[in-house]
C-alpha cells in the first residue's frame, strides 16, 4: 500500500458512517479539528450520536451500538435511566441552579459520606478536574507547603499540574528512581514543572525514598488507584499502603483521585484496599450523567473551606452543587448499590477473560487488563506494571490499535479510542458476549493486515 493511500479498513469505516463524516466536515468549520473534546476524538472522525438509551447509543447513520465507554466511565446506569430522567424532569420544573443551598445537596452529601468512611465532610464542585485542583489547594493551605507529588502517567484533569508527566516520553522521562517532570504540551510553564515531583507507579520502595527526600517541601501526594488514561493499570495494595504510611508519618496529605474508580465498590477503591486517604476527589458517577465533582475527607481539612474559618481557602464555582445535578446524582447513587458494583466487577472479569481467550485463539499478541468494571485492551504480551510499560505497548501496536477500535465500532461495540471499556448497570452477560464476539470478528478481519504491516504482533 502506497504511503498516500488510505488504509482499506479506514475506507470501510467511512463507507459505514457517511452521515457522521458529512457532519464532521460541517463541525470542522466551527470547531478546531472538528471536535470540542480532545479525549473523545479519534481519526478519521468520531461517530455523531443522535440518542442513547440504556447501554445503547444510536448514531446519525442509524446504527445501534453497545456503549462500553459510558462517557469515560461516568454513566454508571448508561443512558436515560428512568429514575434519573424522573428526578431531572421533576427538578427542572422547579429551577436548575439557585446560588443557594438545596435539600438534595444535603441528601447526596449524606449518601456519599455514609458510604465512604474516610469522607467526614465534603464539598461539591463542577468537575473531576476542579475536585483534584481544590484538593491540592486544600493540602497546600493545611501544610503551608507548595510542592505536590503525582504519579508518572497519572491524570487528574485539565489544568497544568494535573497533566505533568501524563505521558512519560522515553527520550526525556529520566531514571525510574527520579523521573523527570515533563510538560504534556507547550502550554505548561516551567514553574509548574518545578512544583511537581514525579513518582514511579507501583514501586513502593522508590516511592517511599522519594517522599522522604522531598518531605520538607511536599504538601500532598496524589494518586489514582487505577491509572485511567494510561491503560487501566491497577495499583497494588503494597504500593498504596507505602504511600499511606510515609505520608502519615511525615505529615503530608494523601489524596486518592477516585473520579474514575469510585464505581468499583460502595466505598471506592480505598475500601477494596482497606486504606483511608486524607482527601478523596470524586466526580463522574456521583452526578448521574451531569457535570459534577466533589472533594471529601477529614473534617479538619475540609474546614479550610468554611466561610467561618479565618483565612479560609476561597472556592467559588457557579454551578457547584446545582440543584439539577444534585437531583440526578442522588437518583443515580441511590440505585447504585454495593451488590450492583460487585455484579459489574464480575462482568468486567468475564470481559477480560473473554478478550484474552480470543487474542490467544487468534494468535495475536495482546492482553486485557484492569480492575472490576474497568478494562483496557493492549496489543502486547509484555507485563504491564506502569505507564512506561503501557507506552511501550502503544508504540509496538502502532496503527493496529486504531484499526481495531474502528473495526469494533463497525460491529456495534463502542469503546474509547485508547481501547478502554467499562460496564454499566443495564449490561449483562449478553452485552459482554457481544463484545467478545466482535473482538473475534475484528481480529479475523485484521489478521492479514497485521501479518503484512505489523508481523511482530503475531504470537504464532
Q: Which residues are catalytic?
A: 155, 257, 284
From CA 233, how far away is CA 390, in angstroms rounded? Answer: 8
d(CA 381, CA 378): 8
Cell of 134: 481544590
Q: How far apart are CA 259 and CA 271, in angstroms?
A: 15
Phi then psi for residue 233, to 5 deg, are -80, 120
CA distance 16 to 375: 27
How far apart (Å, rounded) are the C-alpha atoms in residues 31 and 13? 22
| Full 3-state SS string of 391-435 | HHHHHHHCCHHHHHHHHHHHCCEECCCCCEEECCCCCCHHHHHHH
One DSSP character per residue, 371-384 reads: ETTEEEEES--S--
Whole-number Å distance between alpha carbons of 301 and 142:
7
List the helix and strand counts (H, then E) for the chain.
Answer: 16, 16
Report the C-alpha gap between 329 and 118 in whole angstroms. 20
124: left (phi over 0), alpha (psi -120 to 50) or beta: beta
Burial of residue 383 (CB within 10 Å: 0-12, 13-18, 19+) is exposed
Amino acid at each position: 500500500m502506497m504511503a498516500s493511500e488510505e488504509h482499506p479498513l479506514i475506507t470501510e469505516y467511512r463507507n459505514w458512517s457517511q452521515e457522521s463524516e458529512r457532519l464532521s466536515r460541517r463541525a470542522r468549520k466551527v470547531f478546531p479539528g472538528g471536535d470540542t473534546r480532545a479525549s473523545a476524538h479519534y481519526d478519521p472522525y468520531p461517530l455523531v450520536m443522535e440518542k442513547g438509551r440504556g447501554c445503547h447509543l444510536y448514531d446519525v447513520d442509524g446504527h445501534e451500538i453497545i456503549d462500553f465507554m459510558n462517557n469515560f466511565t461516568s454513566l454508571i446506569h448508561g443512558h436515560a435511566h428512568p429514575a434519573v430522567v424522573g428526578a431531572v424532569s421533576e427538578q427542572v420544573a422547579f429551577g436548575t441552579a439557585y446560588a443557594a443551598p438545596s435539600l438534595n445537596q444535603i441528601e447526596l452529601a449524606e449518601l456519599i459520606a455514609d458510604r465512604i468512611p474516610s469522607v467526614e465532610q465534603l464539598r461539591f464542585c463542577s468537575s473531576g478536574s476542579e475536585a483534584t485542583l481544590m484538593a491540592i489547594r486544600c493540602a497546600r493551605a493545611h501544610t503551608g507547603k507548595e510542592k505536590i507529588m503525582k504519579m508518572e502517567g497519572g491524570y487528574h484533569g485539565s489544568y497544568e499540574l494535573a497533566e505533568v508527566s501524563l505521558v512519560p516520553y522515553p527520550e526525556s522521562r529520566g531514571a525510574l528512581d527520579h523521573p523527570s517532570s515533563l510538560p504534556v504540551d507547550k502550554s505548561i510553564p516551567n514553574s509548574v514543572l518545578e512544583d511537581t515531583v514525579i513518582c514511579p507507579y507501583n514501586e513502593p520502595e522508590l516511592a517511599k525514598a522519594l517522599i522522604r527526600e522531598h518531605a520538607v517541601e511536599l504538601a500532598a501526594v496524589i494518586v489514582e488507584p487505577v491509572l485511567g488514561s494510561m491503560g487501566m493499570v491497577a495499583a497494588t495494595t503494597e504500593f498504596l499502603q507505602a504511600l499511606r504510611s510515609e505520608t502519615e508519618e511525615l505529615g503530608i496529605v494523601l489524596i486518592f483521585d477516585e473520579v474514575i474508580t469510585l464505581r468499583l465498590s460502595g466505598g471506592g477503591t480505598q475500601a477494596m484496599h482497606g486504606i483511608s486517604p486524607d482527601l478523596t476527589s470524586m466526580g463522574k458517577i456521583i452526578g448521574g450523567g451531569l457535570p459534577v465533582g466533589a472533594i471529601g475527607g477529614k473534617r479538619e481539612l475540609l474546614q479550610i473551606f468554611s466561610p467561618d474559618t479565618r483565612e479560609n481557602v476561597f472556592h467559588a464555582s457557579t454551578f457547584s452543587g446545582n440543584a439539577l445535578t444534585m437531583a440526578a446524582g442522588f437518583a443515580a447513587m441511590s440505585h447504585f448499590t454495593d451488590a450492583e458494583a460487585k455484579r459489574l466487577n464480575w462482568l468486567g472479569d468475564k470481559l477480560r477473560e473473554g478478550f484474552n481467550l480470543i487474542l490467544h485463539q487468534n494468535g495475536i499478541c495482546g492482553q486485557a487488563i484492569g480492575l472490576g468494571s474497568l478494562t483496557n485492551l493492549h496489543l502486547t504480551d509484555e507485563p504491564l506494571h506502569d505507564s512506561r510499560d503501557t507506552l511501550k505497548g502503544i508504540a509496538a501496536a502502532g496503527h493496529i490499535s486504531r484499526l481495531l477500535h474502528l473495526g469494533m465500532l463497525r460491529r456495534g461495540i463502542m469503546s474509547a479510542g485508547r481501547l478502554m471499556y467499562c460496564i454499566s448497570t443495564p449490561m449483562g452477560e449478553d452485552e459482554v458476549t457481544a463484545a467478545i464476539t466482535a473482538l473475534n470478528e475484528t481480529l479475523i478481519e485484521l489478521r492479514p493486515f497485521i501479518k503484512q504491516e505489523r508481523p511482530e504482533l503475531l504470537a504464532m
